[in-house]
Chains A and B, each alone.
Chain A
Amino acid sequence: MSTQLLTYLFVGASFALYIGIAIWSRAGSTKDFYVAGGGVHPVVNGMATAADWMSAASFISMAGIISFMGRDGSVYLLGWTGGYVLLALLMAPYLRKFGRFTVPDFIGERYYSKTARMVAVVCLIFVSFTYVAGQMRGVGIVFSRFLEVDVETGVIIGMAVVFMYAVLGGMKGITYTQVAQYCVLIFAYMVPAIFISIMITGNPIPQLGFGSEVADGSGLSVLQKLDSVLTDLGFSAYTQGSKSTIDVFAITAALMFGTAGLPHVLVRFFTVPKVSDARKSAGYALAFIAILYTTAPAVASFARLNLVDTVHNTSYEQAPQWFSNWESTGLVEWQDKNNDGVMQYSAGAANEVKIDRDIMVLANPEIANLPGWVIALVAAGGVAAALSTAAGLLLVISSSISHDLLKQTLMPSITEKQELLFARMAAAVAVCIAGLFGIYPPAFVAQVVAFAFGLAAASLFPAIVLGIFSKRINKQGAIAGMLLGLIFTFVYILYFKFISPELNSAENWLLGISPEGIGFIGMLLNIAAAFAVSRFTAPPPVEVQNLVDDIRIPSGAAVAHSH
């Protein structure tokens, strides 16, 4: 069977599976729709959270980014996993105890203010749409390369599938579909990684192969060989960083606190039955995520080594097959600057080979000469990663509109049935907008990723954690903090990314912190403002202080019913 046919088969079968699950798990109530009825087992929820979290960026781009950044790529590995520790220790159990449907629900009630709720809704919608735009581009890339259909057709097919299970099934449909998507994506990621690890080091476990000797008789380890090969070509050593320590610190912190403040991740912990389950669930989620996140840096180093080995100083006629396959997509380019017919790969002006970071994972099976079914599997995995994240984001957008904006603010008199209908309508509209982002990707998609994490770190994270751990933070403090963090971060990113991109270099940055890391400073400003303003204004009312006492204790029920 041809690879093309296998790819259609794999992607088609996975779509059929997702739709089947959606029909089986239709949502009947708003509770089903928003939080899957609140009865999801922690392991299942952990797996769904992992699929929700691992987006097209994690699956397709991350290993490639690390491949070209070397040690500096650690900011993504640490930043996108370390946030789960904060989630499990500081947020998830308390939000579960609070027991409502959305993140703005918590902010609105803890800070007894519709204004605070609206600020949270605005942050949430901005962060989520930014993110969705990136996912749809991922779907487009996978479809155009592997299925050889137009990006438009690919995005429309993808949207139709998400529409089916997000609009019908709500959180319940999404959760069970994401479990299937996790299995597809992790299998699709690990199989080529294991083969490449065997090919380069003889060790089948990529995490160990990463530190092993290269199986070429040189006696050098993968990283030693990579360091020496890259420095010979004029690049900086793979295991050395080139960013300043303060910038690496700030970017990692912004990604960590941003992760812990992302609404589509937080809302997952509303779906488990008990407080203790919320904690365990975060642990399972991170364990499932860690399988991919500890493999990615290994894949990154293997791919870079392999790239140099097979491409550098090879004559164009003898270029490997994958090179010409990917040349047609424009993601790989060769320009014979010295007219010798040989490809030279190096740092600086003499470099003749341009490699897009996104192909490092997608082309892996071809680079390792793996059979057609593995290539088909990677295609299905890439689509699964993009769709699962898109669905999770669409759900928080729709629930914040139907629940926070309509039911809690504008139209409090609607019935549960009407609210559910509005939730479905909002999901449908959000799917269409996301589809438009995929078909006409705004040119600024890559630039705005810093926004999503920076804003989540600077606005939502402090408001939630302070709301749990301090009884003194009041409405005025929280609103002042969120607005200061939000506006400061927004303006800083806007200035360096859009208004004066030519000034975007270390000497112009505040304290040497890049726009990617500025959310960390925004978060510190938020906390400082929240404490300062709260100090000079009236403390929160007694009911709110009691609410804080109540969410701190896992067993509200045990107190009320133990006698």
Chain B
Amino acid sequence: MSEQPQHHSVENPSPQDHNDQKTLTTQNAADYWHTNLRLLAKLLTVWFVVSFGCGILLVDWLDQFTFFGFKLGFWFAQQGAIYVFVALIFIYAWRIQTIERQFGVDDDEGSL
């Protein structure tokens, strides 16, 4: 958890350093960004479906099913969606780190 050189460059970006590897990093950065956007779209779809979908728009229809003693729509609105939210954040943190390593844009100390 030591102070990394990253702080220096974040606070005083120096364009010369970037230019050295411009072709490689620009391409990697663009590919990384598109992969990231696709992952975000998938996860945000789940986010929308469990909260606005199951918890609000479809709640009355889902209430015909029973789930651990709850009406299913009610359970999503007051319990289920929250569990899914927590899971989504950790899934994103884990997936995106794999993707970053793949494209060589991660912030691991070991990769420097």
The 8 A CB mask of B33-50 against A (1 = contact, 0 = none) is 100100010011001000
Set of chain A residues within 8 Å of B111, measured between Cβ atoms: 555, 558, 562
Q: Which residue of B lies closest to A212 (CB)?
A: B69
Question: How far apart are B7's CB and chain A's nearest CB, in angstroms?
Answer: 7
Q: Is the pair B107, A558 in contact by a Cβ cutoff of 8 Å?
A: yes
Q: Is the pair B47, A557 in contact by a Cβ cutoff of 8 Å?
A: no
* 8 additional contacts (CB under 8 A) given A552-B29, A555-B105, A563-B21: A84-B89, A88-B92, A252-B52, A286-B85, A286-B86, A559-B18, A559-B25, A562-B21
Q: Is the pair A556, B56 in contact by a Cβ cutoff of 8 Å?
A: no
Q: Is the pair A294, B59 in contact by a Cβ cutoff of 8 Å?
A: no
Partner among A39, A286, A294, A557 whose Cβ is within 8 Å of the Cβ of B112: A557
The residues in B between 73 and 112 inclusive whose CB is less than 8 angstroms from any CB of A are 74-75, 77-79, 81-83, 85-86, 88-90, 92-93, 96-97, 100, 104-108, 111-112
Set of chain B residues within 8 Å of A275, measured between Cβ atoms: 107
The residues in A between 538 and 563 inclusive whose CB is less than 8 angstroms from any CB of B are 546-547, 549-550, 552-563
Q: Is the pair B10, A557 in contact by a Cβ cutoff of 8 Å?
A: yes
Partner among B21, B40, B55, B107 whose Cβ is within 8 Å of the Cβ of A557: B107
Q: Given that A89-B89, A282-B89, A283-B90 are contacting pairs, would A560 and B18 also be in contact in the complex, using a CB cutoff of 8 Å? A: yes
Distance between Cα atoms of A253 and B25 in the complex (Å): 37
Q: Is the pair A207, B52 in contact by a Cβ cutoff of 8 Å?
A: no
Q: Is the pair B77, A71 in contact by a Cβ cutoff of 8 Å?
A: yes
**A/B pair count, beta carbons within 8 Å:** 186
Set of chain B residues within 8 Å of A550, measured between Cβ atoms: 13
At the interface, yes or no: B27 with Cβ under 8 Å from chain A?
no
The residues in B between 3 and 29 inclusive whose CB is less than 8 angstroms from any CB of A are 3-11, 13-15, 17-18, 20-21, 25, 29
Q: Is the pair A283, B86 in contact by a Cβ cutoff of 8 Å?
A: yes
At the interface, yes or no: A142 with Cβ under 8 Å from chain B?
no
Set of chain B residues within 8 Å of A562, measured between Cβ atoms: 21, 111-112
Q: Is the pair B106, A283 in contact by a Cβ cutoff of 8 Å?
A: no
The interface of chain B, by Cβ under 8 A from chain A, is: 1, 3-11, 13-15, 17-18, 20-21, 25, 29, 32-33, 36, 40, 43-44, 47, 51-52, 55-57, 59, 63, 67-71, 74-75, 77-79, 81-83, 85-86, 88-90, 92-93, 96-97, 100, 104-108, 111-112
Set of chain A residues within 8 Å of B74, measured between Cβ atoms: 71, 223, 239
Q: Is the pair A210, B79 in contact by a Cβ cutoff of 8 Å?
A: yes
At the interface, yes or no: A297 with Cβ under 8 Å from chain B?
yes
Q: Is the pair A99, B18 in contact by a Cβ cutoff of 8 Å?
A: no
Q: Which residue of A lies closest to B10 (CB)?
A: A99
Set of chain A residues within 8 Å of B8, measured between Cβ atoms: 557
Distance between Cα atoms of A222 and B70 in the complex (Å): 9
Q: Which residue of B lies closest to A256 (CB)?
A: B51
Set of chain B residues within 8 Å of A286, measured between Cβ atoms: 85-86, 89
Q: Is the pair B100, A555 in contact by a Cβ cutoff of 8 Å?
A: yes
Q: Is the pair A557, B6 in contact by a Cβ cutoff of 8 Å?
A: yes
Partner among A85, A223, A252, A555 whose Cβ is within 8 Å of the Cβ of B56: A252
The residues in A between 170 and 223 inclusive whose CB is less than 8 angstroms from any CB of B are 207-208, 210-213, 221-223
Question: How far apart are B59's CB and chain A's nearest CB, in angstroms?
Answer: 7
Question: How far apart are B85's CB and chain A's nearest CB, in angstroms?
Answer: 5
Question: How far apart are B25's CB and chain A's nearest CB, in angstroms?
Answer: 5
Q: Is the pair A89, B92 in contact by a Cβ cutoff of 8 Å?
A: yes
Question: Could you list some 9 contacts between A and B, CB below 8 A?
Answer: A71-B77, A78-B55, A88-B89, A89-B89, A274-B107, A283-B86, A290-B83, A555-B106, A558-B6
Distance between Cα atoms of A549 and B27 in the complex (Å): 12
Q: Is the pair B75, A560 in contact by a Cβ cutoff of 8 Å?
A: no
Q: Is the pair A280, B106 in contact by a Cβ cutoff of 8 Å?
A: no
Distance between Cα atoms of A222 and B74 in the complex (Å): 13
Partner among A82, A97, A245, A561 whose Cβ is within 8 Å of the Cβ of B5: A561
Question: How far apart are B43's CB and chain A's nearest CB, in angstroms?
Answer: 6
Distance between Cα atoms of A362 and B49 in the complex (Å): 35
Q: Is the pair B77, A78 in contact by a Cβ cutoff of 8 Å?
A: yes
Distance between Cα atoms of A275 and B86 in the complex (Å): 19
Set of chain B residues within 8 Å of A549, measured between Cβ atoms: 29
Distance between Cα atoms of A212 and B66 in the complex (Å): 12
Question: How far apart are A311's CB and chain B's nearest CB, in angstroms?
Answer: 24
Q: Is the pair B5, A557 in contact by a Cβ cutoff of 8 Å?
A: yes
At the interface, yes or no: A474 with Cβ under 8 Å from chain B?
no
Partner among A98, A211, A249, A560 whose Cβ is within 8 Å of the Cβ of B17: A560
Set of chain A residues within 8 Å of B63, measured between Cβ atoms: 239
Distance between Cα atoms of A221 and B71 in the complex (Å): 11
Q: Is the pair B29, A556 in contact by a Cβ cutoff of 8 Å?
A: no
Partner among B1, B68, B75 whose Cβ is within 8 Å of the Cβ of A273: B1
Name the 10 nearest CB pairs between A and B, nearest first: A557-B6, A211-B69, A74-B77, A283-B89, A99-B10, A560-B17, A297-B78, A279-B93, A88-B89, A554-B107
Q: Which residue of A lies closest to B28 (CB)?
A: A553
Set of chain A residues within 8 Å of B1, measured between Cβ atoms: 39, 41, 273
Set of chain B residues within 8 Å of A253, measured between Cβ atoms: 52
Distance between Cα atoms of A561 and B97 in the complex (Å): 20
Q: Is the pair A241, B59 in contact by a Cβ cutoff of 8 Å?
A: yes
At the interface, yes or no: A293 with Cβ under 8 Å from chain B?
yes
Q: Which of A71, A99, A245, A549 has the most CB of B within 10 A?
A: A71
Q: Which of A249, A555, A556 has the most CB of B within 10 A?
A: A555
Q: Given that A82-B85, A210-B79, A557-B9 are contacting pairs, would A74 and B105 also be in contact in the complex, using a CB cutoff of 8 Å? A: no
Set of chain B residues within 8 Å of A90, measured between Cβ atoms: 40
Q: Given that A77-B77, A252-B51, A282-B89 are contacting pairs, would A561 and B9 also be in contact in the complex, using a CB cutoff of 8 Å? A: yes
The residues in A between 519 and 553 inclusive whose CB is less than 8 angstroms from any CB of B are 546-547, 549-550, 552-553
Q: Which residue of A lies closest to B6 (CB)?
A: A557
Distance between Cα atoms of A211 and B14 in the complex (Å): 58
Question: How far apart are A463's CB and chain B's nearest CB, in angstroms?
Answer: 19
